[in-house]
Structure 1
Amino acid sequence: MTASTEAPASTSTDTFDSLDPRTGAVVGTHPVHGEADVLAAVARAEEAARWWRALGFDGRRERLLAWRKTLVARLDEVAAVVSAETGKPLDDARLELVLAIDHVDWAAKHAKKTLGRRTVSPGLLGANQAATLGYPPIGVVGVIGPWNYPVFTPMGSIAYALAAGNAVVFKPSELTPGVGEILARTLADAVPEKTLLEVVTGFGETGAALCRAPGVGKIAFTGSTATGRRVMAACAETLTPVLIECGGKDALIVDAGADVEAAADAAVWGGMSNAGQTCVGVERVYVVESVAEEFTAALVAKTRGLRAGTQFGPMTMTSQTEVVRRHVRDALEKGGRAVVGGEDSVKPPFVEPVVIVDVPEDSSAVTEETFGPLIVVNRVPDVAEAVRRANGTSYGLGASVFTGSAKEGERIAEGLRCGMVSVNGVIAFAGIPSLPFGGVGDSGFGRIHGEDGLREFTRPQAIARQRFALPVPVTSFTRTAKHMSTLLGLVRARHGR
């Protein structure tokens, strides 16, 4: 299939092709937008942002819900582009769209309640003041998106930024530019008055130009930790704030009382779906000794029936196959034992499922993000050791806990150094629009989704309005020693007991 390209005209004649990673066939041809193109897109977005903000929460809600309806109507069309550019099965692409649509709906319906100006208590010393807090939009938000979930992940920024009153300039991955363009077309169909979602396509320099553009009020980036650091450095030149969502090395903990079959099923989906190319996918499993054999047997049985190219797609970025190969080799050379697959499972552009047990904690398969269909399973004497090992990484994105007690599951979850945890499930937090999504450490900072995600794309504005003059003029050169004595007496009476 060939996607039409309706990105802004480029000042350069350079173009590039997006390819189907399964076959190498050309999916679409796109312009390489340079700095002048990016600046022009930002200028157009600034104008659109002023119009969009003036609509108010109700006007924006109406139009965003119209976009939601358009996305539903064109779901299969958009999913087909996702499948063609990433190689993932069509139903997985459809699932990605379904989750994104739910987030558009939530953001549209909750923006007013979350961001609307509200009265707050002025406190004793401000008793003569009326205090209010509001969250006006930033203006233009730059979004730099990934290729693994080219709709769901950037929409966590795009939908929430729009709901907060901003316009967006979106730089999709060079591997999935057609997805960015078709998303923009669906929004233009639903909201024809102004172009609220500008799309610029190209490579690293296009993204760097977006980071440097003076009209951009914030950059939301999703990608590798190394690239995230470069994005921060570029944004530092203009003091542009950033939201950074990088990778993870997420762990799944299996306690002694867990439903072992359910835990194994979750590990297989979390580790193998989308060919393991999921930032919150399961890469490490720590299973308590007493159920380790049962769990491993269940995991092996469920994994052996999976086939790359059928249940999941190829490595969208071909070079990632060598990372998987290196991690498998290192795990085996350091004493790990392959119970499913092995080094021969790497067959570019596909990688068949690999499960390796008893891998030393200093192996690159444990310490580095694999981003492929490889699961490492290690036994631990107890949950405390599982938590210690799960936390023994510079990453801190998500995690999963399986246990027989809900209360115990939440206790274990609270001890994990990460942004999100699913108890007796896997990646469930990503599908709940009211929960914030983001990590700590090398996994980044800032949040998309939920109320935190809406506020991420605003600037808090405090307003204090004097209602009457205080009898004690504290902030005036007319203040006397007697005035100060009265004030100190009030403070001691209220706070000194």
Structure 2
Amino acid sequence: MSPGAAPAPTDADAGTGRPGAAAVAGAVAAARRAQPAWEALGFAGRKRVLDAWRVLILRRADELADLIGRETGKTPDDARLEVVLVADHLRWAAAHAARVLRRRRVPAGMLMVNQSATLAYRPLGVIGVIGPWNYPAFIPIGPVSAALAGGNTVVLKPSELTPATGRWLAATLAEAAPGQDLLQVVAGDGDTGAELCRSGVDKISFTGSSATGRKVMAACAETLTPVVIEGGGKDAMVVAADADLEAAADAAVWAAMSNAGQTCVGLERVYVVREAAERFLELVTAKAAALRTGDRPDADLGPIVLPRQVEVIRGHVRDALARGARALLGGEHSFAPPYVAPVVLADVPEDSTALTQETFGPVLVVNTVGSVEEAVELVNAGSYGLGASVFTRDRAAGRSVAGRLRAGMVSVNAVIAFAGIPALPFGGVGDSGFGRVHGADGLREFTRTQAVTSQLFRPPLRPTSFSRTPGTMRALVRMMRAVHGRR
């Protein structure tokens, strides 16, 4: 829930003393009324609607990209990439919901051989989604598409900085599914988000800072509303001595600087093995120095959207330099609000805020380590655990390193590849949150499991009856020993 000016309370809100309360209540009520009919369509019927929505989004892709650019200041290509990701993730959720969520049989086991056992994933009802401003279409589409594909309806609270993008998504879905009220939008600031948490929705999906995530959890706790939290990140890259340094440097600069560094899974720190450090630093510095920043048609980096974030970024750079870090590119002169030009720092102490807190700007820290093992220890020492990457020519070694990193997602010889694969779950650990969106795990996140048994025949032994005899239980014990009494 990004900060900003709250909308003026309506007359309906005045009696509650809580701005936005009536609007939220109305949106949730409308979504609640629409949900049974939406669920009754079944997987195939919902897929037809979601497919039509995707086609409409792609037909009007330039319109959505332009809107994203106007609300966030993104470069045109960054906005177009977001639209492409929206369409692909929406397609995947619609295509795979039936396979992942349909009722399936499970083994009943020897004790319950007379029972048929099935497992199903039922919709929760109404899902509340609190979206961020940095990817105002792509990030919400993960929980929105999963929730809808599973038979839920949705109330979306977009960031107050990007309300038009949220409204555009709802309007296009309404065009694809007229009269169904599947996606409601409530605009407002953090107070509106808090109202959504307390509104009686069946689950909340939140994306934003870890600090705000804690506030969301506290508000949801009042009504025992379950939550999915995707908090901040301090994503790291490990560069081994045998890595393709040209590829690693290119990936590092893009992951750190795209969208002006305002990406939750953006790269903020690199640990490069000493043998490769000098050349890697040369490449990173040269590539970052070539980037264009500002209000110009050919810009690579747009503005920092939150004005106060400029001072956070500046503070991290100042702290690192005051503690003895080297500025290989940029420094105090990189700041021309609302723009920040690329900054590359080396030899930054591990207790500097540039390494312990989320910077969320175009600042890349590159520290030299003695070994990959040391790099893994330093990556895992942080409180965040969202994404990471590993660069090495030995793919087996890369997978091994990935498995030892405390991160929800890792790419080997690439960066942020996991976010572009709709089948993979997205989420982190530690201060980066919990729960998942995207993939099969993301579809199940917005459902409730229901186990059902059905008796096939009367059992010869009836241990769950007061009419059982000692002989029944002795026979049951003998049977279990015969079947399961050996290693």
TM-score, normalised to structure 2, is: 0.95
Q: What are the Cα deviations for residues 161-201 of structure 1, in whole angstroms up to 9, with x where unaligned?
A: 11111100000001101110011111111111311000000
Moved more, 339-348 or 329-338: 339-348
2:386·2:432 contact (CA, 8 Å) conserved in 1?
A: yes
1:302-451 equivalence runs, <5 A: 302-309=287-294, 310-451=299-440
Give the structure 1 partner of residue 157 of structure 2: 171
* SS in structure 1 at match of 2:267: coil
Give the structure 2 partner of residue 258 of structure 1: 243
Give the structure 2 partner of residue 129 of structure 1: 115
Letter in structure 2 aligned against 1:131 = A
How many angstroms apart in 2 are the aligned matches of 1:327 and 1:239? 37
**Selected match of 1:244 from 215, 229, 234:** 229
Q: What are the Cα deviations for residues 82-112 of structure 1, in whole angstroms up to 9, with x where unaligned?
A: 1111001122111101011000000000000
How many angstroms apart in 2 are the aligned matches of 1:275 and 1:153? 17
Query: 1:11: how far off?
Result: 4.5
Give the structure 2 partner of residue 20 of structure 1: none
2:207·2:231 contact (CA, 8 Å) conserved in 1?
A: yes
1:3-18 equivalence runs, <5 A: 11=11
1:324·1:346 contact (CA, 8 Å) conserved in 2?
A: no
* SS in structure 1 at match of 2:389: strand
Give the structure 1 partner of residue 85 of structure 2: 99
Query: 1:469: how far off?
Result: 1.4
Query: 1:250: how far off?
Result: 0.4
**Selected match of 2:447 from 453, 458, 468:** 458
How many angstroms apart in 2 are the aligned matches of 1:398 and 1:478? 58
Aligned residues: 472
- Structure-2 change in CA distance of 1:135 and 1:13 (3 Å): closer
Q: What are the Cα deviations for residues 324-368 of structure 1, in whole angstroms up to 9, with x where unaligned?
A: 000000000001000000022121100000000000101000000
Instruction: Structure 2: state its 5+ residue gaps.
Output: 1-6
Does residue 478 of structure 2 align to residue 493 of structure 1? no
How many angstroms apart in 2 are the aligned matches of 1:491 and 1:343? 74
How many angstroms apart in 1 are the aligned matches of 2:464 and 2:311? 66
Give the structure 1 partner of residue 166 of structure 2: 180
Give the structure 1 partner of residue 34 of structure 2: 48
1:11·1:36 contact (CA, 8 Å) conserved in 2?
A: no
**Selected match of 2:205 from 220, 234, 255:** 220
TM-score, normalised to structure 1, is: 0.93
**Selected match of 2:44 from 58, 61, 68:** 58
Instruction: Structure 1: state its 5+ residue gaps.
Output: 1-6, 15-31
Give the structure 2 partner of residue 25 of structure 1: none
Aligned CA-pair RMSD: 1.4
How many angstroms apart in 1 are the aligned matches of 2:244 and 2:86? 30
Does residue 178 of structure 2 align to residue 200 of structure 1? no
1:71·1:101 contact (CA, 8 Å) conserved in 2?
A: yes
Query: 1:210: how far off?
Result: 0.5
Letter in structure 2 aligned against 1:196 = L
Letter in structure 1 aligned against 2:105 = T
Query: 1:79: how far off?
Result: 1.1
* SS in structure 1 at match of 2:324: coil
1:33·1:201 contact (CA, 8 Å) conserved in 2?
A: no
Letter in structure 1 aligned against 2:436 = R
How many angstroms apart in 2 are the aligned matches of 1:391 and 1:10? 48
1:71·1:186 contact (CA, 8 Å) conserved in 2?
A: yes
How many angstroms apart in 1 are the aligned matches of 2:458 and 2:220? 44
**Selected match of 1:112 from 84, 98, 122:** 98
Q: What are the Cα deviations for residues 16-69 of structure 1, in whole angstroms up to 9, with x where unaligned?
A: xxxxxxxxxxxxxxxx96111111110100111111000000000011000000
Does residue 256 of structure 2 align to residue 271 of structure 1? yes
Q: What are the Cα deviations for residues 306-327 of structure 1, in whole angstroms up to 9, with x where unaligned?
A: 1222102111111100000000
Deviant stretches of 4+, over 2 Å: 9-14
How many angstroms apart in 1 are the aligned matches of 2:409 and 2:77? 26
Give the structure 1 partner of residue 128 of structure 2: 142
Q: What are the Cα deviations for residues 371-414 of structure 1, in whole angstroms up to 9, with x where unaligned?
A: 00000000001100000001111100000100011111100100
How many angstroms apart in 1 are the aligned matches of 2:211 and 2:485? 51
1:12·1:33 contact (CA, 8 Å) conserved in 2?
A: no
Moved more, 71-80 or 107-116: 71-80
2:13·2:21 contact (CA, 8 Å) conserved in 1?
A: no
2:13·2:19 contact (CA, 8 Å) conserved in 1?
A: no
2:74·2:303 contact (CA, 8 Å) conserved in 1?
A: yes
1:33·1:200 contact (CA, 8 Å) conserved in 2?
A: no
